[in-house]
Amino acid sequence: MNKPIKSKNLPQELQSVRKWMLRCGPESEVKSVDEKTVIYSRYSTQTQKDASEERQHDVCLGYAQFEEYALEGDYFYSDRGLSGDSLDGRASLEKIRRLAREGKIKRVLLYSWCRLSRRPGDAMTVYDEWSTLGVEVHVCSGNVTGPINYFQALLLSIFAMEEREKLLRTTNYAAFAAAAQGRNMAGIPYGFRKGRNTGEIEIDDKKMEIVKRIFTLFVIHLLPEKTIAHILNKDGLVGPRGKSWRAKTIAGIVANPKYIGYLVYGVSKVVRTPGRAKKSRTAGSLKKLKYIHKTELACIDVETFLQADARLGARERGLGGKQQERKSKSVLLLHGSYRCAWLAHAAGNQWAARLAQIEVRFVHRAWDLRTEPFNQLVVHRNRDLAGASR
């Protein structure tokens, strides 16, 4: 089988054939000097960082040089620390899609197909969009390399999804086995620090004193979480992750069984919103619940913890498990649409008083409210301002 012959190596007597083919052939076979190639990379977690990004760049760059593709200007686009589970938040990918719609790029180079997406629906959506716009998609490493057609794109998307599911199953199995051995598989709560070995935690005496104080204020003094957070912030105590204390943080501490020595795994699970990267937590399965008791981690007595749990449970039962609604709602027609000129003037802000007076007059005229209470409001406020200005 004869190898492809480059056009520049044709004999002189066949140059006329070459010119006719270039002139009458399809436009897609005529290579334009303005064709631009870009490289897209992505890595999922912050632990990979620049190592994965540099490798993807080097492999794609070598592929482009071998194929003699032009890489000019800003040709490298990367989404750092973003999962392939969704297209949400992919700023660099959106830039490439915008360039494709504007006709400024000819091809996109990927280190592997899963860098585009691990969801077949998302991957095929982007591929179909680029194919319609005449943009080629090339994979630079793996068993399938080169320009990707529709059938290859579909198969690679399925394989990428299966690889992701396999990775998740392996991770879940390993976490379940580690939790059964007594390792801490969740985050390190306030009052503890990382131990010497993997999955171990130990008590931080200084922070644990604050935790005991929180339980005392909540159980003994019956203070609400918001008040406790205010007290801790007023005392200059730094909350978890260096942030200020909030009511939600206090509620999470008094409900955490780690403070009585129980390491629990499987209480909740993460579910994904269909079609989006947004995730939420929901209750897990009792069949997969794992717990182990470590007395060396207990710093709060069981009686105090149960009292705190009872108080939280009583409040939840009072709310019916839902957020409490306001018993009364304002039915004022102009609620929030005007300012009180009299109070503004009493506070010494004459500019705000004058502005409020103008706003009240404007609203009065615009809505043509000729009710007696509203007219008295405007008259009385204007008299007060007139008397104060004298």
Lowest average pLDDT, out of 90-94, 150-154, 159-163, 177-181, goes to 177-181
Please say if the pLDDT value at position 121 is more than 90.
no
pLDDT band at 286, cuts 50/70/90?
confident
At 65-86, the pLDDT tens digits run 898 898 878 899 998 888 887 8
Lowest average pLDDT, out of 57-61, 191-195, 323-327, goes to 323-327
At 23-44, the pLDDT tens digits run 776 554 444 445 789 999 998 7
Backbone angles phi, psi at 42, to 5 degrees: -160, 140
Q: Which superfamily does CATH assign the domain made up of 192-318 to?
A: Putative Large Serine Recombinase; Chain B, Domain 2 (3.90.1750.20)
Instruction: Report percent pLDDT > 90 for the chain.
Output: 30
pLDDT band at 214, cuts 50/70/90?
very high
pLDDT band at 45, cuts 50/70/90?
low
Give pLDDT, residue 5: 56
d(CA 277, CA 160): 17
**Which overall architecture, per CATH, does domain 35-159 show?**
3-Layer(aba) Sandwich (3.40)
Lowest average pLDDT, out of 1-5, 162-166, 227-231, goes to 1-5
pTM confidence score: 0.50
Instruction: Please compute the mean of the pLDDT values over residues 85-97 and round it to a whole number.
Output: 88
Q: What is the 3-state secondary structure (H, E, C) of 23-44?
A: HHCCHHHCCCCCCCEEEEEEEC
d(CA 81, CA 167): 17
pLDDT band at 11, cuts 50/70/90?
confident
Please say if the pLDDT value at position 346 is more than 50.
no
Q: Which of 43, 42, 125, 114 is nearest to 77 (CA)?
A: 42
State the burial class of residue 359 (Cβ atoms within 10 Å of its Cβ: 0-12, 13-18, 19+).
middle
Give pLDDT, residue 54: 87
Average pLDDT over the chain, rounded to whole?
76
Please say if the pLDDT value at position 349 is more than 80.
no
Q: Are the C-beta atoms of 102 and 52 separated by less than 8 Å? A: no
